[in-house]
Chains A and B, each alone.
Chain A
Amino acid sequence: MADVNRGNRPLSPHLTIYRPQLTSITSILVRITGNALIVGAFLVIWWLLAASTSPEYFAIADGVIRSWFGKLIMLGSIWALWYHTLGGIRHLIWDNAVGLDLPTAYKLGWALVIGSFVLTVITVIVL
């Protein structure tokens, strides 16, 4: 195979022309949620820093995190956190080369979507 021209062969389907499926959407969402969590982390760290600084600074950060906008970020972050956690568990399962067949992959995908919302509702109710 040493002299085969490899510059003009068909490539595997890429994001832009790949028909969206449960498996591909749940996969890209793992990446998006994981990276988006930096926003929630930033808010939490700022809140901790403010609490360690002074009562006045804490009042500002606490006000922001408990405002409607702060609550929206925290709610989104909780969902993202559970979604990414369940997605991570799915990766740990797949790493053992099990559950990769389509029926199981679809079941895992739905478990991921439904599970993340259930865990978010439980978190909001409990805390």
Chain B
Amino acid sequence: MPVNRQSSASAARTSDRPTGFRNPWFQFVLNIVGVVIYELLLKAGASATADSAKSWSWIGINALASPLTWLAIVVIIVDLVIWLYILRYIPLSIAFPLSRTVDVLVPISCWLILRETISPLRWCGIALAIVGLIIVAKPAAELEQRL
């Protein structure tokens, strides 16, 4: 049974799971902070170089003219390494929904830093996402106890 094989493999992988700085959940927090930082940098870089008159600008290449975009790329690469590390220990079906914490943090950051406006309906959506995150956090905590 492939499912059983995978479960036992996961158990074997996670039984010697690192602690401290290398703890996957600590890296998870770092990953989320990284996503918020690079999304804001990308938006700033993309806005600084936006030229919607060009039809090929949909592919976003001209955003590379901004140093902010390159700084974002550096953060993305570091964040990718962290994410791959997380995926070695945490199932994607738990890690990915929890990673959507950024969907709450990014709009709030846009509101605070980029001065973008957030409507009451958007605030409701943010609240709903937070409730979902709390619910998903429980299976994550149970997973942690089993490890």
Specify whether A and B are partners.
no
Interface residues of B, Cβ cutoff 8 Å to A:
none
Measured CB to CB, the residues of A under 8 A from B are none
